[in-house]
Structure 1
Amino acid sequence: MIEVTKLNGVKILVNPHLFEVVEETPDTVITLTTGKKIIVKESRQEIKNLVKSYRKGIFAE
């Protein structure tokens, strides 16, 4: 799971395996495979880096 911050400041954990699309419009919107959309404070690049770190951690174990 990766931690992201919703626009209201609440931090949540999201399963990056469920990400379908991450776009900036200008807010960053994460669309999940379930169709749910989450608007977060992190940039698209920050989300990409979080996912890369998450996956590196999985393969390192």
Structure 2
Amino acid sequence: MITVRRLNGKPITINALLIETIEDTPDTVITLTTGKKFMVLDEVPDVIRLVQNFLSAIGGVRGTIMSSELEGSEGV
């Protein structure tokens, strides 16, 4: 989970595993895999850093890298 700030400045906690896209329009728009969108004050690089920190904390980054390596070796 990551905590970002809505446009009114109030915090909202989002499941980082459900983030599909982060867009840099005049405001940052986070779209979840469910289709729900959140407009937030946080800048795109800040949201990316929050997601990376979250994934690192749960071991998700290493798991993703290992999964990619395994997928690449299937044809060998």
**TM value normalised by structure 1:** 0.92
Return the structure number with greater helix share: 2
Structure having the higher strand fraction is 1
Would you identify which runs of 4 or more consecutive aligned residues in structure 1 move more than 6 Å? Answer: none
**Percent same amino acid at aligned positions?**
47
What runs of 5+ residues in structure 2 fail to find an aligned partner? 60-76
Higher RCO structure (Cα 8 Å, ≥6 apart): 1
* Aligned partner of residue 7 in structure 2, secondary structure: coil
Q: Which structure is larger by alpha-carbon Rg, 1 or 2?
A: 2
- Report the aligned-residue RMSD: 0.6
Structure 1: tracts of 5 or more residues without a match: none
Q: TM-score, normalised by structure 2?
A: 0.75
